[in-house]
Amino acid sequence: MPPTSRTVPLDRLESLLAAAFERAGLTATDAATGAEVLSTTDAWGVFTHGSKALRGYLARLLAGGLRPRGRPRISAEGPSWALVDGDSSLGMVTSVFAIDVAMEKARKTGMAYAGVHNSCHFGAAGYYATHAARQGLIALSMANDIPSVASPGSRGAITGSNPFAYAVPAGRHRPLMLDMSIATVAGGKVYAARERGEPIPPGWLIAADGTPTDDPALYPEHATLTPAAGHKGYGLGLMIEALAGALTGAAMTWQVRSWMAGDLSRPTGHGAAFVAIDAGTIHPDLPARVEALIDEVHAAPRADGVDRLYVPGEMEWQRYDRARRSGVELPPDVVHSLREAAALVGLDLGDYGLGDEEGRP
């Protein structure tokens, strides 16, 4: 019987994730970091990058491609920059370490860059930018990945889908937050459509001959994501390769390994980059000015049938508040994936309200 969607309290989901990471060998602190990132991502409704990824991370932690007791460390630094060696730790652990380094330096000099090498898939880029914005800093967050996105005129993949996020403090509003892939859509959405057995809209993928396809099953072996807005998405993808790959010493393009497939015992080599800007020092009115900007958007004329003009991140924060209040409704593919993840580390999901319909653990 296929799983249905299940609603689970957010703190229960977070406990489940922490317990699973601890069973895979992480310290309680690192497990809590991973759990906080993935549960927040689910609460935002970004299910492609939340706890659905637990299965893949656990498999790699158990096989050694991720080191459960890895310790990210600064490998080189200056007043406003650092390179961070992720030591093949969980991407969330290394990324929180790195954004914290960037924030600490930015508080001293105004802004700072932290480039990460020897990392892995870091989940939702927006989490790390938001982590800084909640503490009053503006932040950018980005990462490279295995090639999956075409360039204008190419037959196959040229860059990764290379997530890019920013967050900006916004006074009485939640931080402005954009979390985007440079692809027309993130690969996770193609996988999700495949798992749901649904076709995808034309324009998301090109097949191996360069023509559009609506078959998600071709991806990633025989199809390639298109870049968002053509040369613009492609160009941003190469910027991210430069900042998160070339400048950090990380693996790039075809040297990056898939975090989901292939030899799970080997590191993936992903890179990431974080920039923090100490808005409070540079221009203390920043949050008030962004608050006013958001108010202006909310008051702007809307097209017929449109109830509200949203600013980036606003829908995610609304879902987050609802999830905190009433639990997070995990889609069937996430429930399925969590059950497989739990089985990898012998965790009883019944303890977390996620046992299967027949009451099996």
Of the candidates 132, 77, 175, 165, the one whose C-alpha atom is nearest the C-alpha of residue 278 is 132
Backbone dihedral region for residue 87 (phi beyond 0: left; psi -120 to 50: alpha; all else: beta): left
Should residue 203 be labelled a site residue for its own copies when binding is judged by CB under 8 A?
A: no
Out of 64, 191, 214, 238, which residue is the one contacting its own copies (CB under 8 A)? 238
Give me the torsion for CA of 103, 108, 112, 115, rounded to 10°: -60
Should residue 281 be labelled a site residue for its own copies when binding is judged by CB under 8 A?
A: yes
Positive or negative torsion for Cα 141, 143, 149, 150: positive
Should residue 134 be labelled a site residue for its own copies when binding is judged by CB under 8 A?
A: no
Q: Quick one: 245 or 267, whose CB is closer to its own copies? A: 245
Q: Quick one: 1 or 306, whose CB is closer to its own copies? A: 306
Of the candidates 170, 142, 178, 144, the one whose C-alpha atom is nearest the C-alpha of residue 158 is 144
Should residue 342 be labelled a site residue for its own copies when binding is judged by CB under 8 A?
A: no
Q: What's phi and psi for 224, nearest 5 deg? A: -135, 140
Report in angstroms how near the CB of residue 319 gets to its own copies at its nearest: 15
- Stretch near its own copies under the rule CB under 8 A, chosen from 42-50, 53-61, 173-181, 257-265: 173-181
- Stretch near its own copies under the rule CB under 8 A, chosen from 25-33, 66-74, 107-115, 343-351: 107-115
Report in angstroms how near the CB of residue 19 gets to its own copies at its nearest: 35
Out of 1, 29, 221, 304, which residue is the one contacting its own copies (CB under 8 A)? 304
CB 167 within 8 A of CB 139: yes
Should residue 74 be labelled a site residue for its own copies when binding is judged by CB under 8 A?
A: no
Should residue 279 be labelled a site residue for its own copies when binding is judged by CB under 8 A?
A: yes
Should residue 79 be labelled a site residue for its own copies when binding is judged by CB under 8 A?
A: yes
Residue 297: DSSP 8-state: H
Out of 28, 63, 74, 76, which residue is the one contacting its own copies (CB under 8 A)? 76
Q: How far apart are CA 108 and CA 112, in angstroms?
A: 9
